[in-house]
Structure 1
């Protein structure tokens, strides 16, 4: 029996298990503690708490949290410590190199005025020449590009600088990822790809993180970085008002805790840069007119009346005094014996003399300050992030408060015309959709590779890196110039093509029809979604064999939709006839949509046969209605319907009632009598005067989307699904669908939204769900798919200030009912009084002053956005993250209470995975339908264990990560939980 090297990373939130088989890399993750256990025991060991399907966790108490951040408000205990007299100053040289923003990756690397190739060459040359210089580097994507063309001599120089501590890899992720839009799986992949590369070429694991440019910071990164062995972080962009309060109370460094981590296992020490930016001018002190004088390199972007000179003793004394005063002014923000001073800028130090000048000027001023210690009580030096934290932790007076909450939404300047950075949550929605598609396909190919036992082709490394590149904070955010977004899209399509081809290779499929059609059509549509393939029964073709692969960890009745050229079809699985539904495609009169359910086991594949059958007696009846006609597929006829017709969409769990005269209103009734509620679904837009980064509503009211000339609603009722489709305007159409399955996902209402806002500039579009839920001003959004935290709608603030990131989920609830909206793509959301308002798409031309010129922020391509709506009756006021879901009036007035948190139910979790990981289809003539359907010879996982990823990280090394899901059982349970190994 194969023995596996197992790594257990125990968290208060759950169990993340990583195991490596074959050759164990002992320093791959610094937290690894491994044992050898029998292969058959691995799943049981990892799920040792599997019987706790509904888990309860204790939140951080008031006594522990000393800084509580909630949106735009902050509550803290004042730090009354006096600032120490002695001060250690660490000047951290860095160059912020975005792998695509105003220029593409390749343009930045080799052809722009500030070439990254030159920057890295200058770093190596200057640090070797001037031993006291220190530098940090954070973008592994550019390092890999430079390393690939560097000769052996320069590679050895680079390694020596790392080994000597002169150069530090801080963060070490493939890119400095955004924190408000990617699913946590993608971020884990970004960390692994970067750290694996650093391990490969430098044999090190980063111990610090440098993430100073993402537009707001969330709770995901402090947790994931700690898992990766990093417990020291530097961040930059947080709400300026909150930053000012932290500065006033000397709290710009703190331990950032997950609010469920009562033991503070995952609470890294965080340093916040003192001002708006990471530049020399902004970061050196409190007076930018003085700080800019120390921005002395030739490639400096700052404007300044004068620059520091060290030509004589008088000038050294003058500028040394100014430098010391600025550095001392920072100390009060931290009340520590050590401060970090960022000294860099975008693509700084590309000129061969830049670091030479910095060394000459700064060394002279450092020498002056250090020699006059009696006067300044200060030691100044070049340093790395690691040097700074080592000094900080070694300080006798070092004290860090515990912070709970996050820093969304980001506001850079309350007095600017566009202060709230919430536009990018939804900007260029098509790219956010496409990144999630690549993620699911990459996860599938990893599963196939491991379970089939076939190591991936080398091209997969390119695909993996391109996916990581796509979650950079100027990529997935949609905040790059148009031609740069096109380059990101080209790389993403290339990644998709590689992944799909690899899937076919692993499954021994020689027919490339799916890959060719998917990728070519995604190019035509700029890659917003993967189109369905059409099965044509022409040229004598009478049947197709389809392989369907399930990458989910649970059994499912998968809804499959494909296009066919004939309505006379049968579908069989293992010689059993499946129920089908055939609907004509309105825009293509010779094509039909074929739908059917296929049962799938966990980690499995199955074969279905689609066959031409002219025997109409085998057909099932599906009707298609509008105000003008009714068509039955098997017996076509035209019938006028009533204008105010009542429509029922029903399955075995519930019925949705709808009347065409009140098209926005629906009524949901559960068949078991457990719930009955009304809800409204409508769409509107606002004039948005923001840009790619920001939203500016200017206090204007919403404009409802109505079109007097719009098409009549289309109503489909059949044995597989029933739906209502409405074309609201030329920019927007949607369908609401109920599926007729016995599966868990039949408890959700499916919303498919089709947007095309390219020709409608200046607007942000919204979807609104209005319910009877008395949620007051509270709602929940997810932390990158990991869990949910409570938000509050502040009626004193503008709309754009009340929008928060929704990566996969938002929730409103009261003591009787909970409503959850799940999204297959990230967006922004707000809610009040039971009304949930989601951003769905926007087309913005404006320059909001954040980096993109007029028109460069535009071009949002047509998108297919997918959502699920779930209503769950509450059975208890208890939830799994606190003793009480609600608090009394006195507690509400006590703003020092920690942020409320929750996790969702098993129903919501499995519906989310259905949405994120639909089954994959392959046209396959070479696979016999009697073959073993199982992909992987492993026991079924308990329902409260989530498989995050399983993949090769080397030819003899497999990485597996899982976590325990603490389901909330305060809602009615609709799932039969499996807590046993089968």
Structure 2
């Protein structure tokens, strides 16, 4: 293979770990799998890809081409775009990109394989030339790219010889006869693009993306591939959890490894080097799931099961690595020496939850609070800006208080924990939910302490209201919380900044009032479902049943909502349960910090895989079959008669969408990975919905914004999977809802600074660890990676220790890849952020690493080519909506050998 590659006869295109999906994949994972692939190719084969090949994803976005360009890829091939776009591009001869024929448009070489001999070579050659000529007519030049083969081909050695020998006969016949005026040769993508560039100097420029993909190969009617945007949300959530955990582990590992090298901590170095293999495995497990038949949810159930096992393995490994690295950074010198002496592992910081299998949601572990010393909570803020994080801890005592890293007491709230008795919900007397808001500096590991206290904490307990609580077991029992009845009429939650109005029957949000400006925005939340068209809506496709009695099913009709309200000094929230199918929670925070004070948190726990109970949720069809469930927010925002809305493109930037009514709701659903928004046509309001996982979203009517939450289809949609989707699991979806004043639509749509901050909060939550086995005085109160926060728009995408070239799966190198993204927030909105230091003339004003840095080089995004030295961080310029990569080398003085065990 090395000979074929070095001679140019074999070209490796794109070079990612997989051929990534382009709708559901978030920017971090999309780039991470590309880095992993490029690093492997560079280290093993000495190859840097210059051509891209993306022919199987179901639609194409703008993020992948940008990442390829910044990674050294000069040109790429795409295939699956809407059939109408193909027709238009052919008519206009806009051949700045290529695609191969789709199913139903066959050429001779894909129909059958017939041996070529002297008797049929002339006939076959002329037939082939005729079809090549038709393809060539679509472009302004005379170069045609003809891929030889398809999926699941070349899996037998004999086929390589058969194809080569047959084509060689055809090429010899055509090239040897001048009457054909043609020259055909074997080549690679690089050869093809070189020929095109010799003939063309100026290329037309297209903006936007190619969603939604549509084909017409079945029944001659358009079929829209918009179902997979949402299919199997449980897996999509699991994917993002690993993404966040891996990113945190990468940063902590790099920090701890460089620190240990510089401080001569030989044993820590040894432990981290041993665990590097786990980090690589997690990268590859995450990278594998970005495949266009994995994160899309479009593989058979047993294959999806295997994917999830790998994601769960990655989560386990990265959380363990984060704990080890954080412990190394926080241990006092005396504690470190004691552990070294005992040769003890760094296994004292653990997640505060357990998750035995991927199929179970994380379960919080109750913490006992001893009287003689505090219980430590260790938190890692992986963002380059200061953040305020709402921390939830399950505790076994009510008499507690919390202090920060400086020993200052912080406001807390104690909520009840509920248990379903079958005769109503009862409040547990042995477990309680502790809430507080942690103030976390940029790129820091910080400890908070939970202390036992003798003073009364009654005023810290939430006020509790419910329409479904069980009475006390006896009159002598004094419950820790007094639950009151929910009064008839609408329900109101209020903070210093916001007033939320809810429907008193359904528990659903109706309006949001900004108390500072007095602005009222109608925000009616509704859950409903589209009935699926059998055999035409499945894992890939989305199509509502045109023969259904109603276009939408009111799936919650007839249900008896159970309402639970908690209100205290930190937060107020309303949760509503509809049987075992849905629990919807809305929360506001009693804080002054922006944007948390002005945003509304929403959380859905849904389970269409639950046991069907018609008495609980009579609005659902039997066994939840053929159900496409969505959450819709109906507002009074005027976003046009043909509604316009905006969706994010893999977290890179926003894309404008305008409803096209004639193609139905299925053609107007678009992918989001983190954000969707609508706004008034002129100066007015903007509503932004931020999400923690990929889904489909639409704005079907003026003022509406909806997001699909789950799909259950019993029938295959004839696009390759061969089965329906019936393996739904109990899934948690998290959202922020933000209403802002705006000056009106911008020429280029951008999220506000507040929205970016909240999106980062969802995408990269704080890593929360608990201390088991160490005394409180054995850990320092905090550690900091940088001297000052990064400016608001700049996001640290990764700080990734690259592999040793000779052992790319086993050992870390001395090189670290840092990637910075300029998220380029809008300046036309009113919402503010109180945790970062604003826009500055210098991208990094006064920001330095607390570690020594020996060398910095600007590089391609995948660190396979250098772009020159970088003297200091302030010299790094990151343009709007762009990413920039820097290779860092930390000085590593000789490390003494570890003590003998």
Please report the TM-score for the alignment, with normalisation by the length of structure 1: 0.74
- Cα drift, residue 234 of structure 1: 0.5
Matched with 1:521 is 356
Structure 2 counterpart SS, 1:365: helix
Separation in structure 2 between the aligned mates of residue 965 and residue 720 of structure 1, nearest angstrom: 30
Q: Does structure 2 retain, via aligned residues, the 8 Å contact 1:568–1:619?
A: no
Look up the SS of the partner of 1:766 in the other structure.
strand
Aligned to 1:715: 565
Question: Given the alignment, which residue of 845, 849, 872 partners 2:740?
Answer: 872
1:923 maps to 770
Contact 1:535 1:563 in 2 (8 A): yes
Q: Taking structure 1 as reference, are residues 665 and 927 closer, same or farther at Cα in structure 2, changes over 3 Å only?
A: closer
CA distance in 2, matches of 1:398, 1:445: 45
Alpha-carbon distance in 2 for matches of 1:697, 1:725? 30
**CA distance change for structure 1 residues 416 and 926 in 2, over 3 Å: closer, same or farther?**
farther
1:839 to 673, 695, 708: 708
| Aligned-residue offset at 1:503 | 1.1
**C-alpha separation in 2, matches of 1:560 and 1:719:** 14
Q: Equivalent residue for 1:234?
A: 77
Provide the residue aligned with 1:311 in structure 2: 117
Provide the rounded CA distance (Å) in 1 between the counterparts of 2:319 and 2:222. 42
- Secondary structure at 1:327 match in 2: helix
Find out whether 1:197 has 2:44 as its counterpart.
Answer: no
Superposition RMSD in Å:
2.5
Aligned partners of 1:713 and 1:726 also within 8 Å: yes
Question: Can you list the C-alpha shifts for 1:863-887, whole angstroms capped at 9, x where unaligned?
Answer: 100011000012x2363xx2xxxxx
1:734 to 573, 581, 584: 584
1:404 is aligned to 2:207: yes
Q: Secondary structure at the match of 2:363?
A: coil
Q: 1:659 to 1:732 in 2, by over 3 A?
A: closer
CA separation of 1:365 and 1:772: change in aligned 2, threshold 3 A: same
Q: Which residues of 2 match residues 661-700 of structure 1 at below 5 A?
A: 661=505, 663-673=507-517, 675-689=519-533, 690-699=537-546, 700=548
Query: Cα distance, 1:940 vs. partner?
Result: 1.7
Q: Which residue of 1 aligns with 2:432?
A: 592
Aligned to 1:483: 302
Distance of aligned partners of 1:330 and 1:919 in 2 relative to their CA distance in 1, 3 Å threshold: same
Does residue 1:179 correspond to 2:9, yes or no? no
Equivalent residues in 2 for 1:36-47 (5 A)? none
Partner of 1:93: none
- 8 Å Cα contact 1:451/1:935 also seen in 2: no
Q: CA deviation at 1:634?
A: 8.4
* CA distance in structure 1 between the aligned counterparts of 2:369 and 2:781, rounded to whole angstroms: 29
Is 2:793 aligned against 1:944?
yes
Check if 1:783 corresponds to 2:649: yes
Separation in 2, partners of 1:467, 1:400:
36
**Structure 1 residues 458 and 751 mapped into 2: Cα distance closer, same or farther (>3 Å)?**
same
CA distance in 2, matches of 1:858, 1:174: 29
Matched residue of 1:393: which SS? helix
Does structure 2 conserve the Cα–Cα contact (< 8 Å) formed by 1:604 and 1:935?
Answer: yes
CA distance in 2 between partners of 1:200 and 1:927 (Å):
44
Aligned CA distance change for structure 1 residues 524 and 310 (closer, same or farther; 3 Å) = closer
1:603 aligns with 2:406: no
2:408 is aligned, of 576, 580, 585, to: 576
Could you tell me how far apart the structure 1 residues matched to 2:824 and 2:723 are? 47
The equivalent of 1:210 in structure 2 is 53
SS class of match (1:507) = helix
1:219 matches 2:62: yes
Output the CA distance in 1 between the equivalents of 2:508 and 2:195.
61
In structure 2, the gaps of 5 or more residues are 261-271, 329-344, 421-427, 473-477, 611-623, 804-812, 847-901
Q: Show the 5 A alignment for 1:452-467.
A: 452=256, 453=258, 457-467=276-286
For 1:492 and 1:833, locate their aligned partners in 2 and report how far apart those are by CA, in whole Å: 39
Q: 2:632 aligns with which of 768, 791, 800?
A: 768
* SS class of match (1:199): helix
Matched residue SS, 1:375? helix
2:616 alignment partner in structure 1 = none
Please point out which of 749, 761, 764 is paired with 1:902.
749
Check if 1:755 corresponds to 2:582. Answer: no
> Is the CA contact (8 Å cut-off) linking 1:616 and 1:634 kept in structure 2?
no
Q: Deviations over 1:181-225 (max 9, x none)?
A: 111111111111100000001112100001100000011111111
CA, structure 1 residues 927+475, in 2 after alignment: closer, same or farther (shift >3 Å)?
A: farther
Superposed CA deviations along residues 629-648 of structure 1, whole A, max 9, x for unmatched, are 6999986445444222x433
Alpha carbons of 1:812 and 1:176: their partners in 2 closer, same or farther (altered >3 Å)? same
Q: Deviations over 1:434-473 (max 9, x none)?
A: 1111111111111112222256522211111111111110
Q: Secondary structure at the match of 1:713?
A: strand
Shift in CA distance, 641/359, structure 1 to aligned 2, threshold 3 Å: closer
User: How far, CA to CA, are the matches of 1:729 and 1:310 in structure 2?
Assistant: 67
Aligned to 2:364: 532
Within the alignment, does 1:507 sit opposite 2:339 as a pair?
A: no
Q: Structure 1 residues 417 and 844 mapped into 2: Cα distance closer, same or farther (>3 Å)?
A: farther
Hey, what's the Cα distance between the residues in 2 that align with 1:872 and 1:864?
A: 26
Q: 2:692 aligns with which of 813, 821, 824?
A: 824
Alignment length (residue pairs): 758
Alpha carbons 2:398, 2:457 under 8 Å: kept: no
Q: Are residues 490 and 676 of structure 1, via their aligned partners in 2, closer, same or farther at CA, if it must alter by over 3 Å?
A: same
Structure 1 residue 311, shift from structure 2 partner:
3.0
Instruction: Compute the displacement of 1:614 (Å).
Output: 5.4
Q: Secondary structure at the match of 2:32?
A: helix
Q: Which residue of 2 aligns with 1:343?
A: 148
C-alpha change, 1:168 and 1:638, in structure 2 (3 Å) is closer
- The gaps in structure 1 that reach 5 residues or longer are 1-157, 255-269, 297-306, 883-900
